[in-house]
Amino acid sequence: MQIRASTLPDLLAALVPVGVALLLLYAGYSDLRRLQIPNWITLSLILGFVVIAPSLPTAEISSRLIVAAVAFAVGFVLFALNTMGAGDVKLFSGLLLFVPSGDVALFMLIFSATLMVGIATIVLMRRALSTQMASFKSISTPGVFPMGISISAAGLICLFAPLPVI
């Protein structure tokens, strides 16, 4: 099979959502297990955006970059206040590159819902398991929450179950 140059970008763009999904799954697992999200995940998200960017209108690229930059700036402040982890800030900003500018409000609503479900789940897991028995750092470490799980869940929901914009 011969791949023409004109179809290669289309093929890469078609594979990007699968790659994003795999990255989100690993980010959520890593945050649950070790309370860390590796930098290579965010760098891979940025690379994926670079791949799909040529297929987007210039205004859409600009909008997504602005939204991601604002999210990073707000996240940086939250990190400085010890409210959000650095990996969470980077993952959230990188994921926003894939959210169409018209769907940011819906994404934030979905993220809010996954955040509440995630907090409730972690609290219940901590109560159900003794901290000595929990092999996941996020369960055995009180006072922290692996926000990467909620970020990943929101991204996966938006990626595979597109909902109409409210």
Tens-digit pLDDT profile for residues 36-70: 999 999 999 999 999 889 889 999 999 999 999 99
The rounded distance, in Å, linking the Cα atoms of 65 and 101 is 10
| For the chain, domain boundaries | 8-160
Tens-digit pLDDT profile for residues 77-118: 999 999 999 999 999 999 999 999 999 999 999 999 999 999
Tokens of 148: 């990467």
Are the C-beta atoms of 148 and 86 separated by less than 8 Å? Answer: no
Residue type, 136: F
Question: What CA–CA distances, in Å, run from 159 to 6, 17, 101, 120?
Answer: 25, 7, 14, 23
